[in-house]
Amino acid sequence: MSTFSAPKGTYDLLPPDSATYLAVREAMAAPLRRAGYGYAETPGFENVELFSRGVGESTDIVTKEMYTLTTKGGDHLALRPEGTASVLRAALQAHLHRAGNLPVKLWYSGSFYRYERPQAGRYRHFSQVGAEAIGAEDPALDAELIILAADSYRALGLTGVRLLLNSLGDRECRPAYRAALQEFLRALDLDEDTRARIEINPLRVLDDKRESVQRQLTGAPMMRDHLCQACKEYHERVRELLTAADIAFEDDPKLVRGLDYYTRTTFEFVHGGLGSQSALGGGGRYDGLSEMIGGPALPSVGWGLGVDRTVLALRSEGIELDLPAATEVFAVPLGEEAARTLFSVVTGLRRSGIAADLAYGGKGLKAAMKAANRSGARYALVAGERDLAEGVIQLKDLGSGEQRPVPVEALVTEVTGLLARTGTPNG
């Protein structure tokens, strides 16, 4: 038994499961790279004010879920609970918006932290791939990001993903709606915390998942009925572009997401196979966030997709990804001289781009062949003293069991050619 365990609400990612997580990340990142998004990486912690100002003082993330710490120097820091504020901060600090080529397109991948009650699909440490398009107000950009996310789910083979879409208006039309919503909510029978939220950010009450609250929201004014003409036209253009790209969506007038910085387009990808935590990921437009954190006006849009949640969705649909074998060739040395020779051969194979491994620790033939079969390799290389005396190594097809001698100096070329002709089986 290990002395230590991973902290509550976290997990370790190890083979073979980790290969699926890597494949999911790659499926999310590949469409972004093709669309001109460059990779960004930010620290795992930031100044608390970045999130309290950017994400919002009234959000659960800031009030209940952030991990905060004070350094020996007195700095008040927080482990990052989401990625947008950090990436925008980094872009502003590096003056990327001044390079003259807007929007600045960035994508990122990493771990994020929220102090939540752990349950299936909800961890205190979780993995996301995210994307941000900074500095342009264009419905085509909103549609682009939604399409790129939807395409990554399609590439993974998921069929149960639904896209929910809404508009939260802008600074022109939202104040009047906010006032109408507050008037409606103040008349309801709500607890003290929720009543306080009405005054700070009433839209968040619409997002309350409790049945006792949802029951009372029937007849609540909806943002879609209060959109100004510019927001209506903007949202209709996003919808047209999605439809033209064969992206199905459902209008959800109550979709506000859990962050204060969204304006206009908001969206969420959900999956029925995840239980109560049905969201795979989502995002929206955040035209005022740059100013909130001290930057210039930079209208922007972005999303974050949960890697953990996507893996759960794959499992719920019974999808096994087509993963490359971790090992293509496995070497089985019998004796010290063979171990030296095969070590050199394996090094040569690896340098030729072939995934190769070796039986270490002086295993006998039976144990070493078991290791070769467990590795998922297509071929085994077996050599003993007699083989080396003849200048050959036995090349064994682990699928058919066929075996033949190949000269040592020709081995790398022979194996490379075989794998190129036949392809590598999936592990």
Residue ranges and CATH numbers for the domains of the chain are 17-173+227-316 (3.30.930.10), 329-422 (3.40.50.800)
Torsion angle in degrees (nearest 10) through CA of 250, 251, 253, 259: 70
CA 181, CA 221: separation in Å to the nearest integer? Answer: 6
Q: Where are the beta strands (DSSP E) in 71-146?
A: 76-79, 104-113, 125-134
Residues of the chain above pLDDT 90, percent: 69
Residues with Cβ within 8 Å of residue 85, at least 6 apart in sequence: 46, 50, 51, 54, 55, 261, 289, 293
pLDDT for 327: 95
Distances, alpha carbon 54 to alpha carbons 72, 285, 298, 399, in Å = 25, 13, 14, 57
39 exposure class (CB count in 10 Å sphere: 0-12, 13-18, 19+): exposed
- Predicted confidence at residue 426, as pLDDT, reads 41
- The β-bridge relationship of strands 76-79 and 250-251 is unpaired
Instruction: Encode pLDDT of 307-348 as tens digits.
Output: 999 999 999 999 999 998 889 999 999 999 999 999 999 999
Check residue 52 and give its pLDDT.
84
Could you count the other beta carbons within 10 Å of the beta carbon of residue 35?
Answer: 16
Helix (H) or strand (E) holding 353: none
Lowest mean pLDDT among 51-60, 206-215, 256-265, 359-368: 51-60
pTM of the model: 0.89
Does residue 112 sit in helix, strand or coil?
Answer: strand
Paired tokens of 324: 């490359």
Q: At what angle do helices 17-34 and 307-316 cross, to 10 degrees?
A: 110
The answer on pLDDT for 259 being more than 70 is no
Residue type, 272: G
Q: Which of the four pLDDT bands, split at 50, 70 and 90, describes residue 427?
A: very low
Query: Does 265 count as an annotated binding residue?
Result: no
Of the ranges 84-98, 197-211, 265-279, 315-329, which one carries the lowest mean pLDDT score? 197-211
Is 414 annotated to bind a ligand? Reply is no
Could you give the CA distance from residue 242 to residue 145 in angstroms, rounded to a whole number?
10
Q: Known binder of ligand: residue 262?
A: yes
Short-list 298, 296, 177, CA closest to 231: 177
Alpha carbon distance 45, 106 (integer Å): 19
257 is in an annotated binding site: yes
Confirm or deny that 67 is annotated as ligand binding: no
Give the residue with greater pLDDT, 273 vs 44: 44
Q: pLDDT digit string (tens) for 32-74? A: 999 999 999 999 999 999 988 877 665 666 767 889 999 999 9
Residue 145 CA to residue 134 CA, distance in Å, equals: 12
113 annotated to bind ligand: no
pLDDT of residue 60: 66
84 is in an annotated binding site: yes
Query: From residue 134, how far is each of 83, 106, 230 by CA, in Å?
Result: 14, 8, 20
Spatial contact of 177 and 201, defined as CB atoms under 8 Å apart: no
- The pLDDT tens digits for 205-242 are 887 878 888 888 888 898 889 999 999 999 999 999 99
